[in-house]
Amino acid sequence: MNSTIPTPPCIPEIELDGVTPYGYNKKNTPFTVKITSCSKFQVNQTTAFANFKAISGMTVSADSISFTGFPDDYCLLSMFALDTNGYPIIQSWELHFGSVDMPVLILNPDDTPAQGVHVEANATIYPGLTSTCTTDAAGKCTIGNLPGTTISLVARKDDGSIAVNGLAPTTVQVRLKLLPFVSPKPGSSFETGNGTAGWTGGELRQSLKIKRDTTLVVNTNRQYTLQTASNSFPASGSIKKAYIKYRFITSEVPGGYFATQFNDYFSITIRSDTGA
């Protein structure tokens, strides 16, 4: 008995239209899944699920599946279909949705508007998912469709200056001031002084457990204003990668706010004298 499954004459191409799995999409906004080549959908053999639940208001045609939009921050969209050649099509996407368009103002260290600054917005609960914008002549840009979770903002300028912040998405303009790159002092090293010398920001405290040992302390200060500390180290021209071993202790009292809009932040920035 021959049980060989016939090879499909071609592979259908499936495309998302109106959403992307690589960024934040607008909540409750219609979009479609399209079949663009090879074959068509069998309408009565095509369906989809959102977070493993049946989708109401979905419209299926031979060329596409149309959705009215989703209100959730996250949606695992799964599609199951037979095409007109009789072959199955199974595909899924992780989609992220938001409703906040957050305006950002980036200032140079001298408080003038910073043009051409690349701004990244990352949600703590979705590692690797980034939305970006670039500032105009007024130092402004807007990051759209952000979800209701803590957002990490990082702004970088070509001269090596940076700005960071962590906050809940807001429609009120967020102001970030760039910090210029500070070259490490000659002979500076993380190998001496327990690595606590040369920092901007933070507080040095005497260790209670180890005699003559100091600790750099940075905390959220129980407020939304970002607390930061930064330092730099020299790197020779032949170095391609650098590894820094460090240990940190975090605690949240009361707990339970991670990945919500109430999660507060502190920031530690370490760069080489190349600006990286």
pLDDT in tens, 183-232: 776 666 777 667 777 777 777 777 666 555 677 777 766 555 667 777 77
Q: How large a percentage of the chain has pLDDT more than 70?
A: 79
Query: Number of C-alpha atoms within 13 angstroms, CB side, residue 34?
Result: 9
CA 257, CA 123: separation in Å to the nearest integer? 14
Q: What is the pLDDT of residue 108?
A: 95
Closest C-alpha among 2, 64, 68 to residue 36: 64
Q: Are 64 and 35 in contact (CB under 8 A)?
A: yes
Q: Determine contact, residues 165/155, Cβ cutoff 8 Å.
A: no
Q: What is the rounded CA–CA span in Å between residue 96 and residue 151?
A: 14
pTM over the 0.85 mark? no
Q: Are 113 and 137 in contact (CB under 8 A)?
A: yes
- DSSP lists the bridge partners of residue 87 as none
Reply yes or no on whether the pLDDT at 21 is more than 80.
yes
From CA 70, how far away is CA 26, in angstroms rounded?
9
Nearest to 226 by CA among 270, 271, 269: 269
Q: Which domains does the chain have, with CATH numbers?
A: 14-97 (2.60.40.1220), 100-272 (2.60.40.1120)
Query: Alpha-carbon dihedral of residues 212, 213, 218, 222, nearest 10 degrees?
Result: -60
For the segment 50-109, what is each residue's pLDDT rounded down to a tens digit?
999 999 889 999 999 999 999 999 999 999 999 999 999 999 999 999 999 999 999 999
